[in-house]
Amino acid sequence: MSQGSHYYVPAPSTWPITGSVALLFMGFGAAFSVNKMPLGYGLLAFGFAVLIYMLFGWFGTVARESESGKFNQQVDKSFRWGMSWFIFSEVMFFAAFFGALYYMRIYSVPELGDLEHKSLWPDFTGDWPTAGPGITEKFMPMGPWGLPAINTVLLLTSGVTVTWAHWALKLNKRGQLKLGLFLTFALGFLFVGLQAYEYGHAYSDLNLKMSSGAYGATFFMLTGFHGFHVTLGSIMLFVIYCRVLKGHFTPENHFGFEGVAWYWHFVDVVWLGLFIFVYWLI
Amino acid sequence: MAAVHDHDVAHAHDHHPSGMMRWMMTTNHKDIGTMYLWFSFIMFLTGGVMALTIRAELFQPGLQIVNPEFFNQLTTMHGLIMIFGAIMPAFVGFANWQIPMMIGAPDMAFARMNNWSFWLLPPAALLLLSSFFVPGGAPAGGWTIYPPLSVQMGMGMDMAIFAIHIMGASSIMGSINIITTILNMRAPGMTLMKMPMFVWTWLITAYLLVLVMPVLAGAVTMLLTDRNFGTNFFNAAGGGDPVMFQHIFWFFGHPEVYIMILPAFGIVSEVIPTFARKPLFGYSSMVYATASIAILSCIVWAHHMFTAGMPVTGQLFFMYATMLIAVPTGVKVFNWTATMWRGSMTFETPMLFAIGFIFLFTLGGFSGVICAVVPIDIQVQDTYYVIAHFHYVLVSGALFGIFSGAYYWLPKWTGHMYDETLGKVHFWLTMIFFNLTFFVQHFLGLAGMPRRIPDYALQFADFNMISSIGAFGFGLSQLLFLYVVLKCIRGGAKAPAKTWEGGKTLEWTLPSPAPYHSFETPPVVR
């Protein structure tokens, strides 16, 4: 509530309605394509292209507004509140899937193996990992100490490099800032690449699929959405890197950087939960 | 905290986009609030037509107007449209119009994102409504979209899932905007405990939205992958459990009902003091009661699932936790009543709706406590008793709150007084026909009439006929509301800045109609 300063209210803009058109096409496109109807993928691709165009335009506008000094302390604080609650909503999104994982491991799978269900499925023991009593196709679970452990090291290291870059930004050491950011998104993309390789390994060597019952569903849902978030985070870091190359951000004023760093730490923490409960404790 | 408006800086006020472009591009909280309110009213009529078709079918026993499949599509879509299309957007519309004015801010914190929050709704509604026209029709498993039914349905279900994703994104953006506006843009001197109650209730509602909307997104995403990508979250053969969907869904669903009622509490807490000409009784206890209701609402979800199978310990916990909510709710009802005690009351339309709200919402609250009792709930689960209960809290609760707020602030929004006589007629018609529709449904439910079934046994015929007559009366009465609002927008007696003698909040210090940018320089609150 700083007095005498100016709160920036942007002029009418076409970006939001562009985004709505994008999501309209993506909604219909997705519904059509999962039902194998004609036009589905076309609508989806068109909507996605419009969405990318909108994101470029909208974030570009915000970056320009920021660089021209239109945002004061109070606007900066708004961005901080906004980003914090956005990340909180993301935490709750993952909470739904972690909730499903715990529910299956604690309730539904052991219950299906208990005495009452012996008449239905006499051979099912209710141990984790499982594809459930009705799915006979065998699979192997993903072990924690191969790629997943390497991925853990990669992500934790990237958490260090992004903080290293932040220190550099605060001390106005632009060289270290660029190097730190470069390392961070490089580690991020490397993580995504290794995850993709791990998926290939799961499908071809372990016979582990989305349809592999409780284990397969939770494994792919959790690691899939996490990988999607790492991809987004890496792209965000790359955008920040490009802005740094263009000379954006000052030691005092760099919320764009900090917001992305917060997001990056969030995907990092989610990964730790995944590593422990999806990969390790099985 | 003076405001800089981008276009003002460039060149005076002269290049607002006009026509449709004004509405599509606007970053103004009042324009966006207006769009939310009109969208909500259109959805209210859409969902209302579905409700009347349901009531027409139920006018007498036997199948006469629609086939059972379509009947189920109607009950499902009526619920989804009314919740996500009518009630929630109406309250966001109120938040957009009122919060900046009531806290002395120039606009919402994220004005451009605010526009997107609104403009996500029409595409979502289009997606949801067009599911009627695809093979298999609209979703027909009830608004709660429980598997396995929802996993087996046609592509209409996928459209509903994506519509829910988009509406959820809209709600999350809207609530982040509201939280940030309230926390960061209050006028100097307005501490949290000096905020108007309406602002408080919306702050707490917005927290609930950020907490539970992502969980709904997760739940419907699992439905989507179960339907289309071979996962087995809700399939016992794969180690999953359909009951798990119910847990995740109701973790969203129960706070959701408080999301739909807390802003109504806020509106009533503004209206009653104004027309009783007394400050709100027990302001701080009101704040704490609202927060307690919100916190409790997150730990009672399984009372929707007493018959789904759960340990007795679970039933007892959820029963007692649910009954506990009656305590803070009772605090609120007590405070409203105590505010009126020895007040110099007048009964203009907003006050009539507010008092109607207190009476009927309390009735709905009582039937809620009854439903919370496990042995009773096992009897009334999925009967018309439950239908009666939640329409008492959602129609005579949430909707009456919306009507009360609309009449209360219409003069501020339009600059004209609405037609007081017609407003009162609207209230009495609504009040009478509402009770005619829903009161008898308590009896139907207790006698065992199941919900979501297009036909019924002969013994239920009389009450159903009464209920259907009431429903049509109620529906037609709402056209009168439309007429009153249009008449008020087009003209009428000039409304003074301080429309209501007892109005104490900041919006009454602004001229009527309120200027395009609310507070360019912040007022100082003592």
ipTM over 0.90: yes
- The Cα–Cα gap between A190 and A186 comes to 6
Whether residues B106 and A7 touch (CB distance < 8 A) is answered with yes
In this structure, is the dihedral angle defined by the CA atoms of residues B22, B28, B31 and B32, taken in order, positive or negative?
Answer: positive
Q: Do A3 and B225 touch (CB under 8 A)?
A: no
Q: Are B378 and B306 in contact (CB under 8 A)?
A: yes
In the predicted structure, residue B10 carries a pLDDT above the cut 70: no
- Walk along chain A (282 residues) and give the pLDDT tens digit of each residue: 444 457 888 999 999 999 999 999 999 999 999 999 989 999 999 999 999 999 999 999 999 999 998 999 999 999 999 999 999 999 999 999 999 999 999 999 999 999 999 999 999 999 999 999 999 899 999 999 999 999 999 999 999 999 999 999 999 999 999 999 999 999 999 999 999 999 999 999 999 999 999 999 999 999 999 999 999 999 999 999 999 999 999 999 999 999 999 999 999 999 999 999 999 998
Cβ separation of B177 and A215 shorter than 8 Å? no
Q: A214–B10: do the CB atoms touch at under 8 Å?
A: no
**What's the rounded Cα separation, in Å, for the pair B265 and B142?**
28
Q: Which residue has the higher pLDDT, B2 or B109?
A: B109
Cα angle A197-A202-A206, degrees, rounded to a multiple of 5: 140
- For an interface test with A, the pick among B232, B243, B245, B252 (most A C-beta atoms closer than 10 Å) comes out as B232
Interface contact B219-A7, CB threshold 8 A: no
Residue given tokens 């580690």 in the structure block? A187
Class of domain A1-71: mainly alpha
Q: Tell me if B494 sits within 8 A of B411, measured CB to CB.
A: no
Interface with chain B: mutation pick from A85, A102, A203, highest number of B CBs within 10 Å: A85
* DSSP 8-state symbol, B385: H
Summarised one tens digit per residue, pLDDT across range A153-173 is 999 999 999 999 999 999 999
The answer to whether residue B224 neighbours chain A at the CB level (below 8 Å) is: yes
Measure the CA–CA gap between B328 and B341, rounded to whole angstroms: 20
- Which of B3, B184, B224 lies at the smallest CB-CB distance from A78? B184
CA R_g for chain A: 23
Q: Taking CB atoms and an 8 Å limit, are B155 and A220 in contact across chains?
A: no
Pairwise CB contact (< 8 Å): A13 & B112: yes
What does the pLDDT average to over B8-15? 46
User: For residue B17, what pLDDT is reported?
Assistant: 81
Chain A CB within 8 Å of residue B228 CB: yes
Q: A15 contacts in B (CB within 8 Å)? A: 112, 116
d(CA A35, CA B156): 10
- Distance from A113 to chain B by nearest Cα, in Å? 10
pLDDT band at B19 (very low <50, low <70, confident <90, very high): confident
Which parts of B394-419 fold into alpha helices (H)? 400-414
Tell which residue, B113, B114, B89, B86, has the closest CA to residue B30: B114
**pLDDT 10s digits, B266-309:** 999 999 999 999 999 999 999 999 999 999 999 999 999 999 98
Q: Least CB-CB distance to B158: which of A3, A31, A81?
A: A31
* Token pair for B394: 């959602």
Helices and strands, counts by H and E, chain A: 8, 1
B321-332 mean pLDDT: 96
Rounded CA-CA distance B511/B517 in Å is 12
Q: How many angstroms separate the CA of residue A11 from the nearest CA in chain B?
A: 5
Q: What is the pLDDT averaged over residues B53-80?
A: 96
Top residue of B32, B112, B152 to mutate, by most chain A CBs within 10 Å, is B112
Q: Residue B79: is its pLDDT beyond 70?
A: yes
Cross-strand pairs, B5: A9
Closest residue, chain B, to A93 (C-alpha): B214
CA distance B396 to chain A (A): 31
Q: What integer pLDDT is reported at residue B2 of this predicted model?
A: 65
- Of residues B1, B112, B183, nearest to A2 (C-beta): B1
For residue A281, with 0-12 CB atoms within 10 Å meaning exposed, 13-18 middle and 19 or more buried, which class applies?
exposed
Window 384-413 of B, Cβ < 8 Å to A: none
Q: Which residue of A has its CA nearest to B168?
A: A89
Contact A74 B247 (CB under 8 A): no
Class of the CATH domain delimited by A72-280: mainly alpha
Residues B21-29 have a mean pLDDT of 93
User: Which residues from chain B sit within 8 angstroms of residue A4, using beta carbons?
Assistant: 1-2
Nearest to A93 among B185, B218, B247 (CB): B218
Is residue B418 over pLDDT 90? yes
**Which residues lie below 8 Å from residue A76, measured CB to CB, with a gap of 6+?**
A253, A255
Q: Is B159 on the interface with A (CB under 8 A)?
A: yes
Interface of B with A in 25-84 (CB under 8 A): 25-27
Top residue of A1, A3, A9 to mutate, by most chain B CBs within 10 Å, is A9
- Of B199, B146, B184, whose CA–CA distance to B305 is shortest? B146
Residue B28 DSSP one-character state: -
Q: Flag if A213 and B10 touch (Cβ within 8 Å).
A: no
- A35/B184 CB distance under 8 A: no
- Residues of chain B with pLDDT > 90, as a percent, come to 93
A44-71 residue pLDDT tens: 999 999 999 999 999 999 999 999 989 9
- Cβ of A217 and B240 within 8 Å? yes
- For residue B348 the two structure tokens come to 């203009």
Any chain A CB within 8 A of the CB of B5? Answer: yes
Q: Would you state the pLDDT for residue B519?
A: 85
**For chain A, which residues make up each domain, given as ranges?**
1-71, 72-280
- Residue A264 to residues A183, A235, A269, B180: CA-CA distances in angstroms? 13, 11, 9, 22
Q: Is the pLDDT of residue B12 over 60?
A: no
* Closest in B3, B233, B251 to A9, CB measured: B3
Cβ-Cβ contacts under 8 Å for A247 (sequence gap 6 or more) = none
Measure CB to CB from residue A20 to each of B105, B123, B251 and give the nearest one: B123
CA–CA separation, B35 and B125 (whole Å): 14
Residues of B with catalytic roles: 78, 107, 143, 170-171, 254, 256, 258, 269, 303-304, 329, 332, 451
CB B65 within 8 A of CB A47: no
Before B513, cis peptide (omega within 30)? yes
Interatomic CA distance for residues B115 and B345, integer angstroms: 39
